[in-house]
Amino acid sequence: MHLLAIVAHPDDADIFCGGTIAKHADRGDTVTIAHMTRGEYGGLGSETEAEIATVRESEARASGEVLGAEEVVFLEFEDGRITHSLENRLRVVDVMRRYAPDIVLTHFQDDMHPDHQATSRLVTDAYYMASLPLVETEHPPCDPDNVYFFGKPTSTFEPTCLVDISGYEDRKTEAIKQHDSQVEFLTEHGGIDAEFDNLIDSVRAEDMVYGTQVGADAAEGFLPLHELAQEYLV
């Protein structure tokens, strides 16, 4: 089984679905993490975008190794400037076809961050179009089983699929800690994104809340595009 996580920025995969990624990797599934951007806006102004992007790419590769991802890739979109367009939709279609995943993880569309919104819509559209033979891209059509959305507690996100990640809490924390450049930046932006106040404590607390709903120590929440059998995420 192949799981493809398409996320807007480095650290999104770790924060929202790191436990699920690690769990799949440990059971022998192929896991790919595709970052739309290198997160070059994630700085406080003392470095250039190129310098920030280089650091964040390195951090993302380190965190992917912690989680057990087979491949960590970057799709060359610009941070803060992802737009929903036909051209970009076809770019994501081709990425999806390149990896031909069984399931895709991505952002829930109702989200404060415009990149998360755009990524969600592009991935949803690409999922529909990836199987169409007359949609021409560099790679042949594929037909993923489903898309699972993860979201922020500040949105209307109400997950119906909770994945037990008990035993993966420390590994998820270790993956998040790889993004050392973001600690100060996310703390400074706590007033914008409330879940970034005391990031790791907040993430673990949210996972514990989801866990109580399924009788587990910790869980991550997803909303499937189609209500199908969910054995791949159990």
Domains and CATH numbers, the chain: 2-225 (3.40.50.10320)
pLDDT at 182: 78
pLDDT at 189: 60
pLDDT at 196: 46
> Which tens digit of pLDDT belongs to each residue from 145-172?
999 999 987 778 999 999 999 999 999 9
Q: Enter the pTM of the model.
A: 0.91
pLDDT at 233: 59
pLDDT at 204: 93
pLDDT at 228: 62
Alpha carbon 125 to its chain centroid, in Å, reads 17
CA 129/CA 119 separation, integer angstroms: 15
Exposure b/e, 182-194, CB count within 10 A at least 16 = b: beebbeeeeeeee
pLDDT at 77: 97
Instruction: Look at residues 193, 162, 190, 196 and name the one whose alpha carbon lies nearest to residue 176.
Output: 196
pLDDT at 187: 62
pLDDT at 211: 96
Low-confidence ranges of the chain (pLDDT < 70): 44-46, 183-197, 228-234
